[in-house]
């Protein structure tokens, strides 16, 4: 049997849950006839990305059930050949992609990631314990470069070294510190690389 089209799949899932299309339309913040017209008349021809995502989350299915194009079925993030130090800092001349990791596009959206503006790097050292430990893989939003006054975790460069630290915006400039109080202070001018937005830890 061929794959059901989005309209058929929506009608089937709604029937299984006992949900009316009008109620689902209101859940999306639309007028009550929105999904009825989509199912019966094909108008709109395609659901908006946000509507499709919310329906997929609600029914616990993949977005492809509601017509997600293949281009967003997986969000690819390059693995960079960089070990960002949670210690004294690692010298990095260049950042070379050594592969890609595909994450759920819904996770990518929730993190505010955009294609080509994210990378995965490995943590080395203990100065950011207990939050980050040696060997952790972290997703870095390379487009997010402005820390708040309260302090957030960023990958930075200082004195030519690449490291992960907690960075805060102060009246005197950027201040970078380690979470581990025993770690040495950060010296040198700080260059922002990107904000750490997700931690990918292998169970231990």
Each residue's pLDDT tens digit, 104-135: 888 888 898 888 889 888 888 888 999 998 88
Residue 90 banded pLDDT, cuts 50, 70, 90: very low
**Mean pLDDT, residues 145-170 taken together:** 91
CA distances from 55 to 7, 30, 35, 82, 102 (A): 12, 13, 11, 38, 22
3-state secondary structure of 157: strand
pTM (2 d.p.): 0.61
pLDDT of residue 87: 52
Burial 103-129 (b: 16+ CB within 10 A, else e): bebeebeebebeeeebbbbbbbbbbbb
Quote helix, strand, coil % in the chain, to nearest 5: 25, 30, 45
pLDDT of 26 above 90:
yes
């Amino acid at each position: 049997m061929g794959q059901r089209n989005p309209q058929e799949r929506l009608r089937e899932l709604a029937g299984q849950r006992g949900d009316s299309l009008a109620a689902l339309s209101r859940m999306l913040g639309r007028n009550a006839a929105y999904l009825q017209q989509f199912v019966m008349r094909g108008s709109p021809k395609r659901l908006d990305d946000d509507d499709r995502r919310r329906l997929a989350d609600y029914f616990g299915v993949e977005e492809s059930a509601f017509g997600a194009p293949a281009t967003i079925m997986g969000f690819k993030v390059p693995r960079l050949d960089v070990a960002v130090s949670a210690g004294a800092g690692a010298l990095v001349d260049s950042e070379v992609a050594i592969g890609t990791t595909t994450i759920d596009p819904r996770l990518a959206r929730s993190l505010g990631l955009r294609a080509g503006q994210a990378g995965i790097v490995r943590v080395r050292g203990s100065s950011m314990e207990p939050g980050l430990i040696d060997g952790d893989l972290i997703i870095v939003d390379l487009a997010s470069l402005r820390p708040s006054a309260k302090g957030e975790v960023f990958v930075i460069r200082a004195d030519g070294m690449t490291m992960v630290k907690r960075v805060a915006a102060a009246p005197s400039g950027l201040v970078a510190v380690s979470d581990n109080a025993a770690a040495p202070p950060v010296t040198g001018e700080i260059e922002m690389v990107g904000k750490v937005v997700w931690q990918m830890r292998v169970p231990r």
